[in-house]
Amino acid sequence: AQKITQTQPGMFVQEKEAVTLDCTYDTSDPSYGLFWYKQPSSGEMIFLIYQGSYDQQNATEGRYSLNFQKARKSANLVISASQLGDSAMYFCAIIPSQGNLIFGKGTKLSVKP
């Protein structure tokens, strides 16, 4: 069975600083994809970043980067230069071989001015 663990229910960060949101995963599939989604208070699920299990380099998308450590089964999200609009729930998810997303419980990020 696949599982995503996000151990930080809530995080605070000062505006303009960087923050790391933790995610560990468990899967027996040799091939999988890892994702981060942002859910603002309005409720929509916004795709942020993707990392394939065979990708050699860490994924980056603008201010978002994914710190992928395969041996440790971790896929932490790093947000640089935090903005007030980054305040939201952040969900880590995995797609194993069968194709549906399996989500963690999320981390609520609050950016302080």
Partner 1 sequence: EPEVTQTPSHQVTQMGQEVILRCVPISNHLYFYWYRQILGQKVEFLVSFYNNEISEKSEIFDDQFSVERPDGSNFTLKIRSTKLEDSAMYFCASPPPGKETQYFGPGTRLLVL
* Residues binding partner 1 (CB under 8 A): 33, 35, 37, 43-47, 50, 52, 91, 93, 95, 98-106
Question: Which of the 8 DSSP states describes residue 57?
Answer: S
* CB-nearer residue toward partner 1: 12 or 47: 47
Give the C-alpha separation, 98 to 15, whole Å: 39
Burial 37-52 (b: 16+ CB within 10 A, else e): bbeeeeeeeeebbebe
* CB-nearer residue toward partner 1: 4 or 82: 4
**Shortest distance (Å) from residue 16 CB to partner 1:** 29
**Shortest distance (Å) from residue 45 CB to partner 1:** 4
**Shortest distance (Å) from residue 113 CB to partner 1:** 26
Cα dihedral: 93, 5, 49, 32 (round 10):
-60
